[in-house]
Structure 1
Amino acid sequence: MNWEQLLSTRRAREGAGRHAGSADLRSEFEKDYHRIIGSASFRRLQDKTQVFPLDQSDFIRTRLTHSLEVSSFAKSLGQNIGENILTYKRDPSFTVQMKEDICSILQCAGLIHDIGNPPFGHFGEIAIREWFERNLPRLTYRGRPVDEVLTEQMKQDFYHFEGNAQALRLVTKLHFLVDENGMNLTYALLSTIVKYPVSSLEIDEACGDIARKKMGYYLADAETFRRIAEATGTDGRRHPLTFILEAADDIAYKTADIEDAFVKGFISYHALIEELKKLKSIQNNDKVVFNPLGKLEELYRQGVEKQVDHPEEYAVKNWIVRVQGFLISCATFGFTSNYRAIMEGAYPYDLFHGTFAEELMELLGDMAMRRVFCTRKIYLMELVEAGILDYLMDSFARAVLSYDDDDSALDSIDRRLVYFISGNYKDAYHFQAKGKSDEERLYLRLLLVTDFICGMTDSYAKRLCQELKAML
């Protein structure tokens, strides 16, 4: 892969471009940024769960604040890595302008990396996935079970429902404003957000390649993915910037989960101390690179000396910032030390693999899982969320089975349910369904339901469920 092609400014719908005398001096990637910021889907992230659903606290992160943090970390990593490539002449074709473009692309990618996630965070993905596993064999279409009507890839798309694949679909098709091309973002940016460049039939969790762990695009969007891969020259491989985006996401959520959990009372200063005792000081040639436990204790002592009201809080929050700086350095090393393999599409790991940060990242993730996600309070909230999503999926999936196929089969309730689905999504469905077979149109109608539900905020999903239950 080469940077000139990887940083493709092409779009599905080509505009007039910059011309002599134009007052618009933005690069193509800066235009992407403004399209994202002005979109309704980006605004909806302010009412979508990061960890704690429907939380009323002003401090706790939402998908919006998380995405802003990922955007910031991604840009910082782009600056570090771009400067390293230039300074050490790792690639003679790499230019200062390419470094600037990389930073702009990563800044945009951070904003939209979670834009396709359904309400209620990653548990929402699991709930939708399991709904299809239970219900595709039960739903019937023209007297046949739906799972017998759909092709294998269509079924696997639903059984492996994935927010990352939904993000690509949303930004390329569902913003049906000017035309069918969605936000019409650059192919370089679109390629960067495809974390898993494989279809639902090509998932292979056992192979050890991080790029094949999940599905990256739906069958309905396979042609879009093909055009992106062709324009950027990735040819089924991960875009190099995807590794950087993923590292920024990992830094953001693994540190933020600990900070949010501390504020919510799931993890105390003393509990964090006990967890960090499991780690040794991170050393290189007998020189301490970073001592997580020692740094936290040092910051606590500083808080006491400064006579702050809450030295434990002072220590934890400042420790998070120090850890983030350390992780950025390690991710930079992870990319630059594996530069050749990444550019060849042969690197199978994340950027923390084999670095000084690997053990710390594993501890942070494990701590959040044990002390936050696997607790009674979170489990209770997730049961409520599952009930909301199950009810919405039950209602709308059954309502669309005959929509645009045999409308006479829709009863009065189904007609009213279909009415609630966004006009943009229905317009996108009709455009994609033209000339398709009955089976393909059924598949697209089921996607219409997931499109609609994934576009909901947490509050809207809860409110609509309550209103429909009252109505029905």
Structure 2
Amino acid sequence: MYIWGYLLHIMALAPQADCRKEGTDIDMEWRQLLSARRVRRGGGNNKNKSTDLRSEFEKDYHRIIGSASFRRLQDKTQVFPLDKSDFIRTRLTHSLEVSSFAKSLGQNIGENILKYKKDPSFTPQMKEDICNILQCAGLIHDIGNPPFGHFGENAIREWFEHNLGSLYVNGQKVEDMLTPQMRGDFYHFEGNAQALRLVTRLHYLVDENGMNLTYALLNTIVKYPGSSIDIDETSGNIKDKKMGYYYADEAIYKEVERETGTNGNRHPLTFILEAADDLAYKTADIEDAFIKGFISYHTLKEELGALQDNCPDAGFCPLDELEKRYIRGVERGVDDPQEYAVKNWIVRVQGFIISCITFGFTRNYDAIMAGTYKKDLFSGTFGEKLMDLLGDMANRYVFMSSTIYKLELTEAAILDDLMEKFVHAAIHYDAGEKMDSIDLRIVSLISDNYKKAYRHQAEGKSEAEKIYLRLLLVTDYVCGMTDSYAKRLYQELNGII
């Protein structure tokens, strides 16, 4: 009740976003946005079809949970690579948290749309579908990330910036053979685009269609509905900051886009997924940093003081909430009232931020459905200031610390070496050249599934496109590695015992 009371309070105080005039039609429609279509349609005479009562989006959930790619997230970094603690989060636990937050937000927002009749065509079944889609999207939003977290993305990006210009095949410079979009895919390498590629191409279980997920889910995980040549960080629109798909996967994305009717805009559920992700990692980073000793109770208390004068007249004040929980811990006689305060404060913050996100979506509903909304869902709420502070704290106290810098130097050495060895071998694979014994052995280590996907995509393509796909073959393989596997392979290939 407290959360919803505060929600009504900020709805009354916050300035209204630029939406279209009352009475105009909404451009995107839920009936189309929630498309259950798949690339490979369901097959003919399935005797069990009448007894399977799951929706198509519930079937997506089971496809994801049962996949090896999802299981590998348990050994991929969230913040602290190769950490031995059983408390610190991995990509798997982070993804489960995002999934949970996203589903809860879907319930809140769907109920709001129904209750206040924001869209006459919106039904209770659509609310249920939204919850299931968001739950699945949370599970796979990071599934394409390479080992070592976001630093791994940077390391791959920088490797291409430093080395693509010096690669040659059959006497021709590779960089000159590639189109601007092909080059841009590597210079702007992005885990989000890799996620779409993995679930549509690389999970080669039945055929070349990957996990064969529903189009509504596929579009929800594409945070940036543009290619590498569409990036425009100066546009002021959040959707233009990065790329969302590779040249190799443009056809499938365009098909998904047409089917769901987003027309170059973000899918409305993408805003919710991104907000759930931000909520999960920004609060978790503070909790993990506290457990690891990067941030103390007193440090957090001091930092929150910066928001004290900007608290809403009625409602949530972060510093007061932290101090209340410390006092409660002392009164209850807990062994460590500071730890008790911080952990319980995190839970309280998450509840508050959920109310802000709910408000952000419902207040800007028309603009989001029209494809004209350009910001995140925190914009214009007190939650925006709090989230900015938490992100800044994690950056200053954790990511810019000598401990993390040392770990990242190790990670860079591992990824640089693996990229060097596998790119050198892969560009000569299937190029009509005689490969030396070392390169042959290096290529043999790449997953047969990835090579099968390459051969399928390369069929009938030009030499330039084949080279491009072979470079993707390497990033596919590297991104599929867990942290410990990447480290172990690096040691084995370099004779480090």
One fold, TM greater than 0.5? yes
Q: Distance in 1 between matches of 2:440 and 2:271?
A: 45
Aligned counterpart in structure 2 of residue 369 of structure 1, from 368, 390, 395: 395
Q: How far 1:402 moved relative to its partner?
A: 1.3
Q: Which residue does 1:307 correspond to in 2?
A: 333
Please tell me whether residue 398 in structure 1 is matched to residue 416 in structure 2: no
State whether residues 398 and 404 of structure 2, in contact with CA within 8 Å, keep that contact through their aligned partners in structure 1: yes
Which whole-Å CA distance do the structure 2 matches of 1:220 and 1:403 have between them?
18
Q: Residue 143 of structure 1: CA displacement?
A: 1.5
Aligned counterparts of 1:401 and 1:429: Cα–Cα separation in 2: 12
Matched with 2:81 is: 53
Counterpart in the other structure of 2:456: 431
> Residue 26 of structure 1: CA displacement?
0.5
Determine the C-alpha separation between the residues in 1 that align with 2:104 and 2:496: 50
Contact kept in structure 2, 1:200 and 1:218, CA below 8 Å: yes
Question: For 1:372 and 1:270, how far apart are their aligned partners in 2?
Answer: 16
Q: Which amino acid aligns with 2:408?
A: E
Which of 450, 472, 476 lines up with 1:451 in the alignment? 476
* Aligned residues: CA RMSD: 1.3
**333, 344, 363: which one pairs with 2:359?**
333
Aligned match for 2:149, one of 110, 121, 124: 121
Equivalent residue runs for 1:45-194 within 5 Å: 45-194=73-222
Q: C-alpha distance in 2, partners of 1:402/1:435?
A: 18
Cα distance in 2, alignment partners of residues 456 and 283 from structure 1: 45
Cα contact 2:325–2:341 (8 A) shared by 1: yes
Does residue 12 of the first structure (1) align with residue 39 of the second (2)? yes
Give the AA of the match of 2:39.
Answer: A
Give the drift of 1:176. Answer: 1.1
Q: Contact 1:281–1:290 (CA<8 Å) still a contact in 2?
A: no
Equivalent position SS for 1:280: helix
Asked if 1:440 corresponds to 2:465, the answer is: yes
Alignment-derived partner of residue 464 in structure 1: 489
Give 1:208's aligned residue.
236
1:87-133 C-alpha deviation (Å, 9 max, x unpaired): 00000000000000000000000000000000000000000000000
The percentage of counterpart residues that share the same residue type is 71
- Once the two structures are overlaid, the 10-residue window that deviates more, 46-55 or 21-30, is 21-30
Normalization by structure 2: what TM-score?
Answer: 0.93
Matched, 1:220 2:248: yes
Aligned residue for 2:52?
24
How many residues align? The count is 469
Per the normalisation by structure 1, the TM-score is: 0.98
8 A Cα contact 1:136 1:147, kept in partner: yes
Letter in 1 for 2:213: L
SS at match of 1:445: helix
| 8 Å Cα contact 2:170/2:433 also seen in 1 | no
The whole-number CA distance in structure 2 between the counterparts of 1:10 and 1:125 is 31
3-state DSSP class of the match of 1:93? coil
- Cα deviation for residue 22 of structure 1 reads 1.6
Secondary structure of 1:156's partner? helix
Aligned twin of 2:347: 321
Deviations 1:37-76 (CA, angstroms, capped at 9, x unpaired): 0000000000000000000000000000000000000000
CA gap 1:282/1:330 in 2 versus in 1, 3 angstroms: farther
Taking a change above 3 Å as real, the CA distance of residues 281 and 252 of structure 1, as seen in their structure-2 partners, is farther
Gaps of 5+ in 2: 1-27
